[in-house]
Amino acid sequence: MSAVRAAMAAAEVDVLLLSVGADLPWLTGYEAMPLERLTMLVVPVDGTATLVVPELEAPRVGDTGDLFKLRPWKESEYPDSIVAGLMGAARTVAISDRTWARFVLGLQAERPGCRWVSGSVLTAPLRAVKDADEVAALYDAARAADRVATQLLAGDVRLVGRTEAEVSADISRRLVAEGHDRVNFAIVASGPNAASPHHEAGTRVIERGDPVVCDFGGTMVPIAEREKGGSAGYCSDITRTVVAGGSPPPGFAEIYAAVKEAQAKGVAAATAGTPGATVDAASRRVIADAGYGEFFIHRTGHGIGVEEHEEPYLVAGNEVPLQPGNAFSIEPGVYITGLYGVRIEDIVVTTEDGPNALNVADHELEVVEA
């Protein structure tokens, strides 16, 4: 909270408003229900913060210590006016990026003279630098995802004869069994479907010899956070590409080797002081040199924390140098329409001593008899 207030003062923001989305649980441990009823934390640059919350949800907030006061509102009250009243004489207002338009428009009608800026201007740079507890939480989530990836590579997750959706459900169950509180996604993309990076697992039955891209992750709430009644967790995100028995299709092994080397080069480049664009280029160059540059159609990586995708982004044009505490994915891929795709992804933390890959599940091409 003090770091947020310092950022507000530096940016000449008078009040910060946080509603649905990850900023509120990141700052307080409390996650607003995504409902038509307004929940909003009002943080003046100096003065006490207040959580405006529907009265029926106030019991979920738990013990807030002296972090903020509660202002439960009754069904007969109009919460926009309550928030507007708590904003005092504020002129410049930062509001969290994920706040619904209905609330933004309501508040702007209440306070027409204010200047409105994105809350992420304040929160994204702070969220991008993880402290030791946050790195530990990311590590626990990564290792849980690693155990599922290792089961996949060992052939414990049956593939041949099952639909992608069945395999996705199996991976999801394993993520929870290994300690995740919720599953955020479990992409299973087989054969030609693997040429679509965000393919939704569907009814295609996996055949022997199919390459299968499995990209999955969830959220784990640290035990200390849970004991405080909080629900703010940290995310995992890992991709492994396997071949479902038989032998890989023509050309696949060469592409896999290029992606594997590109992934390793990306990890190695992610040192403190290196811009995100340079990390992206280090990974991309390997794939381009192998002749597949036009088939690597997305950025090399994204930051990760309380959200699966957050700053910093490892992408051409991002010249901001990485710093110790940044946590992000390195996930190059090659996607050949009509044939197959390959992606390999690990979560990496930049430290004073170099890049630290949190995921350690094997990177070798596995033909799994499963």
**Residue number, 239 or 241, with CB nearest to Zn ion:** 239
Residue 329 contacts Zn ion per CB under 5 A: yes
146 binds Zn ion per the rule CB under 5 A: no
CB 73 within 8 A of CB 80: no
Task: List the alpha helices (DSSP H) in 38-131.
Answer: 58-61, 79-86, 101-110, 120-127
At closest approach, how far in Å is the CB of 306 from Zn ion?
Answer: 15
Query: Alpha-carbon torsion 94, 97, 103, 109, what sign?
Result: positive
Q: Which CB sits closer to Zn ion, 31 or 215?
A: 215
What number of H helices and E strands is found in the chain? 11, 17
Determine the interface stretch with Zn ion among 53-61, 227-235, 239-247, 353-361 (rule: CB under 5 A).
Answer: 239-247
Contact string (CB under 5 A) for Zn ion, positions 275-314, x = contact:
----------------------------------------
Note whether 215 binds Zn ion by CB under 5 A: yes
Interface with Zn ion (CB under 5 A), residue total 5
Tokens of 1: 């909270």
CB of 345 to Zn ion, least distance (A): 5
The nearer residue to Zn ion, 90 or 306, going by C-beta atoms, is 306
- The span of 29-37, 49-57, 313-321, 329-337 binding Zn ion (CB under 5 A) equals 329-337
Cα distance between residue 310 and residue 135, in whole Å:
15
Stretch that binds Zn ion, among 147-155, 204-212, 246-254, 322-330 (CB under 5 A): 322-330
Number of Cβ within a 10 Å radius of residue 54: 20
CB contact set of 65 (below 8 Å; sequence gap of 6+): none
Residues that bind Zn ion (CB under 5 A): 215, 237, 239, 329, 345
